[in-house]
Structure 1
Amino acid sequence: MRLRSPIEPMLAKAVADFPPGRPGAWRYEPKFDGFRGLALVDSDRGVHLQSRRGARLTDTFPEIVWAVFEHIPARTVLDGEIVRWAAGQLDFSALHRRNIAGRRRAASLATSEPCHYAVFDVLKLRGRDVTGLPLHERRALLEGLFTTIPSAGVLALGLQTTDEAEARTWYETLAVAGVEGLVIKPTRSTYEVGARGWLKLKRRTSMDAVVGGFVGSPLRPSGLILGRYDDAGRLRVVGRTTQLAAQAAAEVAPLLTPARAGHPWPETLPPGWASSPYGGSGPITYTQVQPNLVVEVLVDSALDGGRRHRHAVRYLRPRIDLDPASVVESCEAAG
């Protein structure tokens, strides 16, 4: 039997709150800020590691491939999250460094910045297709598989609970470590390839940011480029907003002042600097404005390098009552 890649994983849709249901109806898992990864072990024990979109990750994370080869039986497919823990924090920047490293450098980083594979589901086990089993039965199989795997190794059994109170504690307390929120799954759900049958509840908080530029037209900006001052008084780019609604664009456009000479940012921004996906085709073009407008935005906990928000943030309202110089990032945020 030779397992074929790519496999389209099951996905989750965003929700704003915990879903209703009787006790035990849902299973809750921390939503780690990492790379989704499926591990396939062939009948000849060949290991293939793929991303959510089917890209080959086998050479990118050799320590995970080796751990899967050593501990996972042939003709098995696992689903999980590739993460890097450093000093009690999830470090997405390390994953990015690994992603752009060549094969030789990836092998070196596997020693200096080792990653882990947090496994939360099983699709095939020793040649048996188990996607049609309910989640609680697949979880039992997965827990049985991990009884012989060292707890301090590269492979980790993902956390899961049926206790909503415990899940709410995770939701409130794990954000400081870079956990984005929760993935919530029906206990009796099967694994539906490509379907959005799970739920994701992200923990979001509001923060103030200084507008340093925009994309779109001056009369109808489609997004704002945001910054915060560091302890040295430098305005640092921290992200960009999602697409502005018509009402929000009309509200903020009159408050934007054309930039004068000496703007603190370059005329174009490198890919990834403003909540844009890594691997973009070129610099981010935008229109600079005087950094004299503060806005309130809604953010999640996914940070790049401890400062920039990796996901686009949601615009809430202007804060014309605030002095931009007072919008200073904390030492923890600065990294």
Structure 2
Amino acid sequence: MDLPLLPPLDPMLAKAVDTIPAGMHYEAKWDGFRAIVFRDGEEVEIASRTGKSLARYFPELLTAFRAELPARCVLDGEIVLAHDGRLHFEELQERIHPAASRVARLAAENPATFVAFDLLALDDRSLADQPLSVRRPALVAALAGAGPWVHTAPATTDRALAERWFTEFEGAGLDGIVAKPLDQPYRPGVRSMFKIKHGRTADCVVAGYREHKDGQGVGSLLLGLYDATGTLQHVGVCASFTAARRRELAAELAPLRMADPTGHPWAAWGEEEAHESNRMPGAPSRWSGGKDAQWIALRPELVCEVAYDHMEGTRFRHTTRFRRWRTDRSPQSCDYTQLDEPVGSDLAHLLDGGSPDR
């Protein structure tokens, strides 16, 4: 493969914000697998956001890319599965399977499609250093003849229309809106876009669990996020599972259990002084009383998406709600930069009856 940009190539990322910012380029946020597609003639590679190849899991897209893409190009976009008027992420995850026969059957029964939202290279020219105001028209022109399996992501610069999309398309399984500054180049691995989602979510590392109080299965998952130093900090728990789901989780997590927690990021949780510099489960608390703080260590290899209301300092204020497993995310990518950072306020002004911006 001989292209201006070659794998591995980190995708440009987005940071969560509460409202749609003004004066930008807006697109719907697709609920699928992020992928960068490299085509050089008959050679095609589909790279996940973690750099792993997705090509073997989507054979129908390899055929589609050879038929519908420019002969030599690099595209950023999303692999999605859609039917009955909405997206189906859970069915998309079923494609990540070791059996080629199963993948082939699913590809024939319910083929995936690709929604392209950025053009990074065309022929011998890299466009990554060009602003989005240049890359977007180039993308539209390059894919003018594509279809039915490759689509250009709908976009607008009309904020009012983006707000309408945000409301109207939620029922179709779309995650929200992505806002992109028109004047910026493509910045691999940098959170230089903005995402506005329906409620707050975060992708967290599952590094342990506590058994349910009745001894039957998982009571709560212990969640972690990596800080700027690369340390996995305990940020809260995910709970409220049904009795059946608690037992299922115990079976699913059994292969990750550590008989000896040596080497686990929270191995020192039993030492009170260790909690002074790092957040770990079982920290001394005036609320814990005689509550059992014991937990079961897991190899920190699994990622789940949780819904939460807000943060209190560096942890979730309340128990989070399990959304789904994220097999497409690496644990190392789960850090604090994905979270919304609230604007600081002056509490003294509020206590005085004023407003934060007085």
**TM-score bin, normalised by smaller chain:** 0.5 to 0.7
Aligned residues between the structures: 261
Aligned 1:212-231 pairs, distance under 5 A: 212-213=219-220, 215=222, 223-227=236-240
Please tell me whether the aligned partners of residues 205 and 298 of structure 1 are also in contact (alpha carbons under 8 angstroms): no
Determine what percentage of the aligned residue pairs are the same residue.
32
Does the C-alpha gap of structure 1 residues 215 and 129 become closer, same or farther in structure 2, counting only changes over 3 Å? closer
Please tell me whether the aligned partners of residues 183 and 200 of structure 1 are also in contact (alpha carbons under 8 angstroms): yes
Query: Secondary structure in 1 aligned to 2:167?
Result: helix
Equivalent in the alignment of 1:332: none
Q: Give, in angstroms, the shift of residue 171 of structure 1.
A: 1.6
Please tell me whether the aligned partners of residues 37 and 51 of structure 1 are also in contact (alpha carbons under 8 angstroms): yes
Q: Give, in angstroms, the shift of residue 87 of structure 1.
A: 2.1
Does the alignment pair 1:108 with 2:137?
Answer: no
Q: Give, in angstroms, the shift of residue 5 of structure 1.
A: 1.4
Instruction: Give, in whole Å, the separation in 2 of the partners of 1:249 and 1:299.
Output: 24
Query: Secondary structure in 1 aligned to 2:57?
Result: coil
Q: Give, in angstroms, the shift of residue 268 of structure 1.
A: 10
Please tell me whether the aligned partners of residues 204 and 299 of structure 1 are also in contact (alpha carbons under 8 angstroms): no
Does the C-alpha gap of structure 1 residues 275 and 5 become closer, same or farther in structure 2, counting only changes over 3 Å? closer
Please tell me whether the aligned partners of residues 80 and 121 of structure 1 are also in contact (alpha carbons under 8 angstroms): yes
- The one-letter code matched in structure 1 to 2:304 is S
1:11 to 13, 16, 20: 13
Instruction: Give, in whole Å, the separation in 2 of the partners of 1:272 and 1:95.
Output: 20
1:201 to 196, 202, 205: 196
TM-score (norm 2): 0.61
Range moving further from structure 2, 69-78 or 193-202: 193-202
What are the ranges of 5 or more consecutive residues in structure 2 without an aligned counterpart? 202-211, 214-218, 224-233, 250-277, 307-316, 326-333, 340-358
Instruction: Give, in whole Å, the separation in 1 of the partners of 2:175 and 2:305.
Output: 18
Does the C-alpha gap of structure 1 residues 272 and 192 become closer, same or farther in structure 2, counting only changes over 3 Å? closer
Instruction: Give, in whole Å, the separation in 2 of the partners of 1:184 and 1:255.
Output: 48
Alignment deviations for residues 122-143 of structure 1 (CA, whole Å, 9 cap, x no partner): 0011222112222122111111
Equivalent in the alignment of 2:25: 27
TM-score (norm 1): 0.65
Aligned 1:323-334 pairs, distance under 5 A: none
Query: Secondary structure in 1 aligned to 2:237?
Result: strand
Query: Secondary structure in 2 aligned to 1:39?
Result: strand
2:166 to 171, 175, 180: 171
Instruction: Give, in whole Å, the separation in 2 of the partners of 1:119 and 1:167.
Output: 18
Alignment deviations for residues 176-221 of structure 1 (CA, whole Å, 9 cap, x no partner): 2222222110012211222221111222079xxx9943549xxxx9
Taking only aligned residues, the RMSD between alpha carbons, in angstroms, comes to: 4.0
- The one-letter code matched in structure 2 to 1:41 is R
Please tell me whether the aligned partners of residues 45 and 73 of structure 1 are also in contact (alpha carbons under 8 angstroms): no
What are the ranges of 5 or more consecutive residues in structure 1 without an aligned counterpart? 259-266, 278-294, 305-310, 315-335
